[in-house]
Amino acid sequence: MALRDVKEYYYIMLSQYIEVKEDLADFEQALKDGYITEDKLTDIQQDVLNIKNNLDRIQYIMYLFELPNRKNKKEKYKISNANLEQYFIENNASLKSLTDENASIIAHLRAEIKKYKQEITDNES
């Protein structure tokens, strides 16, 4: 996959996010008008949040693609984009956030597997 393919993917996701944000405004209006419930709007907002999280992660990848190779330019780039980096950290899109999230999921799955195996062993006894 070439960088241009990643950029195309990013722009498609960005346009879809913009579309869904416009649709969300319609749903918020529908709630005000009494056509949908608060629970329905909350479900829709969660779907929008999932799309936003995916977009944020792709934006972080785009940020990394633009990161210069030379150390002196890299520091300057990071300083000039400090607000953007902070945004990625706050929205769980940075590498550390993703690896922490993945480690948590792995730990949870392993605990569930251990619990399941223990139940099998207990039932066999």
Q: Are residues 104 and 58 in the same domain?
A: no
Of the chain, the percentage scoring pLDDT greater than 70 comes to 99
Q: Are residues 16 and 29 in the same domain?
A: yes
Q: Are residues 55 and 104 in the same domain?
A: no
Q: Are residues 89 and 99 in the same domain?
A: no
Residue-range definition of the domain harbouring residue 110: 94-125
Q: How many domains does the chain have?
A: 2
Residue found by looking up tokens 């693609």 in the block: 65
Three-class SS of residue 11? helix
pLDDT digits (tens, 9 = 90+) for 10-67: 999 999 999 998 888 888 988 899 988 999 889 989 988 889 988 998 998 898 888 8
d(CA 115, CA 78): 44
Q: Are residues 7 and 68 in the same domain?
A: yes
Query: Is the pTM for the entire model greater than 0.85?
Result: no
Tokens read off for 54: 């995916």
List the single range of 30-34, 73-77, 109-113 with lowest mean pLDDT: 73-77
Q: Are residues 111 and 82 in the same domain?
A: no
pLDDT at site 1? 65
Helix-strand-coil split of the chain, %, nearest 5 = 85, 0, 15
